[in-house]
C-alpha cells in the first residue's frame, strides 16, 4: 500500500478518518491523495430541484467555488504540518462514483462509518456504494475513533468466500507487520469453501503466523464478529464485504450491514 485515497467532505467523521489515513501513511511510508467529492452544482440543481427553480448558474458556481476554497484552505493548513506526502484534488461527479473512479490507481480508500446519518456522503448507503464500486479495499473508520494503531493486533473474519480472500490478500502489507493475527471462523465450515486452516497456511507462505479460532454460530454473525474483535483487542478488522447482494442484506440482514452500523474499530473491507 503506497497510495491512500482519503474521502474529503465536511462532515463530523472527517477528523477521525484523516487521522487514520495519516497513521496508515506514516506506517507504510505511503502518500495520501485527498479527494474532495463535492457534487457539481449544476448536477445538484437538476437532481434536487427537478428544474423547478431558476437559479443563476453563475451565482451557484461562485458560491460553490468559495465554499470549496474555504474547505480546502482549512484542511490544507493542517496537512502542511504533517510528515506525510499528500495531494489534493476534487471531483464533480456523484460522490461515490468519484471515489470509485479515483480508487482505480490507489491501494486503499478511506471513508467514515457514521451510523445515524442520512446525508449523501456519510450514510451507510454511501459507504456501501463505495465498498461495492471501489477497485480495491476500503478502510471504514468509526467517526468517534480516537486513535488508529496499524501495528496492533489484526482480526480476520474468515468464511472462505471470494470476498474474504480478496480482503485477506489486500491486507497483507499490514498483516506482515501486525503485532498478532487471528483468523475467526464462525459456524460450521462449508465443504465447498476454504477453511481457516487453509487461510492460515496461505499466510504462512508470507511468514505470517495466524491463530485460527473457530466458534459456533450463536446469533447474528456481525454481532459475534464485533464481540470477538473486542475480546481480542483488535486494532483492525479485515473482512469481505457483501458476500451476497446488497439488496439481500437489506432485506434479510447480514454481517456487512451489521458491521457498517455498529463497528467500534476500523474495518478493511473488500468486495
Query: What is the domain-level CATH number for residue 160?
Result: 3.40.50.620
200 in a structural domain: yes
The pLDDT value recorded for residue 13 is 93
- Same domain? 137 vs 43: yes
The pLDDT value recorded for residue 136 is 95
The pLDDT value recorded for residue 248 is 42
Concatenated DSSP letters for 131-163? HHH-SS-EEEEETT-----TTS-EEEE--S-HH
- Same domain? 115 vs 159: no
117 in a structural domain: yes
The pLDDT value recorded for residue 109 is 98
Question: What's the burial of 29, exposed, middle or buried (CB within 10 Å: 0-12/13-18/19+)?
Answer: exposed
- Same domain? 135 vs 17: yes
- Same domain? 52 vs 166: no
Q: Could you say which residues of the chain have pLDDT below 70?
A: 39-57, 60, 117, 243-253
- Same domain? 106 vs 226: no
- Residue 112 sits at φ, ψ, to 5 deg, of -110, 155
- Same domain? 7 vs 136: yes
- Same domain? 36 vs 108: yes
The pLDDT value recorded for residue 190 is 81
Residues 97 and 249: their CA atoms lie apart, in Å, by 21
Cell 473508520 belongs to 141
Residues contacting residue 52 through CB under 8 Å, at least 6 positions apart:
none
Residues contacting residue 27 through CB under 8 Å, at least 6 positions apart:
150, 151, 177
Residues contacting residue 82 through CB under 8 Å, at least 6 positions apart:
22
- pLDDT tens digits, residue range 60-73? 677 778 888 899 99
- Same domain? 32 vs 127: yes
- Same domain? 49 vs 125: yes
148 in a structural domain: no
The pLDDT value recorded for residue 92 is 77
pTM of the model: 0.89
Q: In which domain, by residue range, is 179 found?
A: 154-270
Structural contact between residues 270 and 166, judged by C-beta atoms closer than 8 angstroms: yes
* Domain finish residue from 142, 172, 200: 142
- Same domain? 92 vs 22: yes
Count structural domains, the chain. 2
135 in a structural domain: yes
147 in a structural domain: no
* Domain finish residue from 142, 173, 201: 142
The pLDDT value recorded for residue 47 is 45
* Domain finish residue from 107, 142, 177: 142
- Same domain? 83 vs 36: yes
- Same domain? 129 vs 224: no
Amino acid at each position: 500500500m503506497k497510495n491512500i485515497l482519503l474521502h474529503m467532505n465536511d462532515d463530523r467523521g472527517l477528523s477521525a478518518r484523516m487521522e487514520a489515513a495519516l497513521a496508515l501513511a506514516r506506517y507504510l511510508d505511503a502518500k495520501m491523495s485527498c479527494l474532495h467529492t463535492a457534487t457539481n452544482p449544476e448536477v445538484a440543481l437538476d437532481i434536487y430541484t427537478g428544474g423547478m427553480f431558476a437559479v443563476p448558474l453563475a451565482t451557484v458556481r461562485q458560491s460553490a467555488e468559495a465554499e470549496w476554497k474555504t474547505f480546502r484552505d482549512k484542511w490544507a493548513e493542517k496537512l502542511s504540518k504533517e510528515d506525510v506526502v499528500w495531494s489534493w484534488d476534487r471531483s464533480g461527479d456523484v460522490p461515490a462514483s468519484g471515489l470509485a473512479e479515483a480508487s482505480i490507481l490507489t491501494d486503499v480508500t478511506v471513508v467514515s462509518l457514521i451510523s445515524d446519518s442520512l446525508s449523501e456522503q456519510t450514510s451507510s448507503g454511501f459507504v456501501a456504494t463505495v465498498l461495492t464500486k471501489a477497485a480495491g479495499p476500503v478502510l471504514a473508520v468509526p467517526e468517534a475513533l480516537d486513535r488508529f494503531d496499524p501495528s496492533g493486533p489484526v482480526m480476520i473474519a474468515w468464511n472462505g468466500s471470494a470476498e474474504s480472500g480478496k480482503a485477506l490478500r489486500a491486507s497483507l502489507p499490514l498483516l506482515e507487520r501486525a503485532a498478532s493475527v487471528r483468523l475467526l471462523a464462525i459456524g460450521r465450515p462449508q465443504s465447498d469453501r476454504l477453511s481457516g486452516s487453509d487461510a492460515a497456511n496461505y499466510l504462512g507462505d508470507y511468514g505470517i503466523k495466524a491463530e485460527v479460532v473457530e466458534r459456533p454460530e450463536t446469533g447474528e454473525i456481525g454481532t459475534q464478529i464485533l464481540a470477538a474483535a473486542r475480546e481480542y483487542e483488535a486494532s483492525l478488522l479485515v473482512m469481505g464485504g457483501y458476500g451476497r447482494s446488497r439488496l439481500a442484506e437489506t432485506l434479510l440482514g447480514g454481517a456487512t450491514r451489521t458491521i457498517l452500523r455498529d463497528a467500534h474499530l476500523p474495518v478493511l473491507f473488500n468486495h
